[in-house]
Amino acid sequence: MKVAVLTGGVGGARFLRGIVDAVDPATVTAIVNVGDDLEVLGLSVSPDLDSVLYALAGLGDDERGWGRADETWNALATVESLGGESWFRLGDRDLGLHIVRTQALSEGAPLSTVTARLAAVLGVEAAILPATDEELRTWLDTTNGSFPFQEWFVARAHRDPVDRVRFEGATDAQPAPGVLDALHEADLILVAPSNPFVSIGPILAVERIRSALERRRVPCVAVSPLIGGLAVKGPAARMLQRLQGGTTATHVASCYSGLIDALVIDEKDAADADALSSTGVRPVVTNTLMRDAAARRRLAEVALDAVAFA
């Protein structure tokens, strides 16, 4: 059985760890958001690809949910003391990877090739693919102006209420090599419990990825990033309220209209199940909080089995 997983960073990476624990990692392909990517200090940084890479390589910081475990911050402290750009948190070990990636990209290697090389060196068996090799950038139109993703998310702490999410470069972006094959060959497509607007949205903004999902012949199962109508972390609930009109399971599913067959929701949202069901999306109710390895694996198993729950 082959599985393709659409994913963002923190929530997605946690879920992917459960997936590769539950099935043979070699049968798993992660299709990862690149709308958050940025250039900082002259380096090409791909935060969601790195969260997934570090998580699957066993190098991630569990507590923080992003970056590497055992991290130190000497380079950034030096940057700051020299008056350099220091708003985007980059640890010393993390910086090493960005340097290697930036050099490879500047020599002309596509992001997908660079990512595959890094994954191989780090012993990751699952395939990690950027949604696209082309430049696709998420922008937020807010009540206080328009901002590139990281400026809104990190520098402004995602406080500005969002009226619209835009994906610069998405219209012409082609899926990275391997993405469409993974979707076509998959026996099951999963959407990780990632932010629907700014993590999964940019992936679906690539037209040929969206149409591959629309025309899928296999089930697609999403996992809600909300528990009790609230995000575990980040702006997902606030965005759902403002952009989708509410935070129930049906509101989450409406972000994936026509694209999913089932939505895994938390026990705390069990009251939403009937309404969701009446929209044609099968609700699967379970504990979705991934607090440890056992919980991650259990959630992965429920998502993998969701279509058999009819």
* Contacts to ligand GDP by CB under 6 A: 7-12, 14, 48, 51, 192-195, 199, 224-225, 227, 231-234, 236, 288-290
> Does residue 67 interact with Ca ion by CB under 5 A?
no
Number of residue whose CB is nearest Ca ion: 9
- Closer residue to ligand GDP (CB): 282 or 296: 296
Angle at CA 72, nearest 5°, toward 68 and 73? Answer: 110
Question: Which two tokens mark 188?
Answer: 């099951």
- The one among 27, 36, 67, 170 contacting Ca ion by CB under 5 A: 36
- 220's enclosing H/E stretch is strand 220-223
Partner whose footprint covers residue 132, from ligand GDP, Ca ion, none (CB < 5 to 8 Å by kind): none
CA distance 130 to 134: 9
> Does residue 94 interact with Ca ion by CB under 5 A?
no
> Does residue 234 interact with Ca ion by CB under 5 A?
no
Partner whose footprint covers residue 5, from Ca ion, ligand GDP, none (CB < 5 to 8 Å by kind): none
Partner whose footprint covers residue 138, from Ca ion, ligand GDP, none (CB < 5 to 8 Å by kind): none
The greatest distance separating any two alpha carbons of the chain, rounded to the nearest whole angstrom, comes to 60
- Closer residue to Ca ion (CB): 154 or 273: 154
- Closer residue to ligand GDP (CB): 55 or 173: 55
Quote the DSSP letter at residue 132.
B
Instruction: Show the 3-state SS of 38-49.
Output: EEECCEEECHHH
Place of tokens 């069901």: 277
Q: Which stretch binds Ca ion (CB under 5 A): 46-54, 157-165, 181-189, 256-264?
A: 46-54
- Closer residue to ligand GDP (CB): 89 or 184: 89
Q: What is the CA radius of gyration of the chain?
A: 18
- The one among 48, 160, 269, 272 contacting Ca ion by CB under 5 A: 48
> Residue 72 in contact with residue 66, Cβ under 8 Å?
no
- Closer residue to ligand GDP (CB): 109 or 243: 243
Cα–Cα distances in angstroms (integers) from residue 75 to residues 91, 98, 280, in the given order: 7, 13, 52
- 274's enclosing H/E stretch is helix 273-277
Partner whose footprint covers residue 234, from ligand GDP, Ca ion, none (CB < 5 to 8 Å by kind): ligand GDP
CA distance 78 to 101: 22
List residues binding Ca ion (CB under 5 A).
8-9, 36, 48
